[in-house]
Amino acid sequence: MDHMEMAEKLREKANVGYEDAKAALEEANWDILDAMVILEKQGKVNPLTATYTTKQEPPEQEEYQTHQKGEGFLSMIGRFFKWLGKIIEKGNRNNFNVEKNGSTTVSIPVTAFALLLIIFPILPFTCFLLIVGLFCGYSYSFSGPDLGRDDVNNVMGKANKVADDIKDEFKSAANGGNNANSDDSK
């Protein structure tokens, strides 16, 4: 902030003329708080109307400790619910999609999907069903402004590719085993 802006700011806060504000700043080596004190000492500023002050009354010790404990816990609870609200909002904006043959079969909000995973008591069974779905030709993806990014869906695509590779290995092993059996019978 240059000297002219500082003088203007002090003039507004102290309710004095520009010349008085500039003179006080020059005397205070361009420190606004010191200039305010100088103006107060000169009687040009009513201390009750000034917005700058160097004094702060300490609160009563007992009242201060009670206030701090209550505010700390309440603010922690408030921050938790604010965070939870943001997570739920993001979950509602984004969807978990189940696709087969390029068309979406199921699309549910991520919040609902997460609640199903949490509420359904057998989490490993749910994960097992998702893995079996991969082997049955289903693929999974996310859509929406937060999770519909390529990096997130690339991970899901890699899981689909791994499942396809394993299926192909089983098919080729099964076909190789059948060819060996048919050669033995001849």
- Count of domains observed in the chain: 2
- Tell whether 115 is covered by a domain: yes
This prediction has a pTM of 0.48
- Tell whether 129 is covered by a domain: yes
pLDDT tens figures, 135-177: 888 888 888 888 777 777 787 788 888 888 888 888 888 887 5
| Lateral strand order in the sheet of 95-100 | 103-109, 95-100, 138-143
Residue 122's region, left for phi above 0, alpha for psi from -120 to 50, else beta, is beta
Task: Give percent of the chain with pLDDT exceeding 70.
Answer: 78
How buried is residue 72: exposed, middle or buried, by Cβ count under 10 Å (0-12/13-18/19+)?
exposed
100 and 28 in one domain? no
- Tell whether 24 is covered by a domain: yes
173 and 99 in one domain? yes
Question: What mean pLDDT do residues 98-113 have?
Answer: 87
pLDDT band, residue 23 (cuts 50/70/90): very high
Question: What mean pLDDT do residues 80-87 have?
Answer: 91
Residue 67 has pLDDT above 60, yes or no: no
- Tell whether 65 is covered by a domain: no
- Number of Cβ within 10 Å of residue 94's Cβ equals 20
Instruction: Give the range of the structural domain holding residue 120, as residue numbers without chain letter.
Output: 91-179
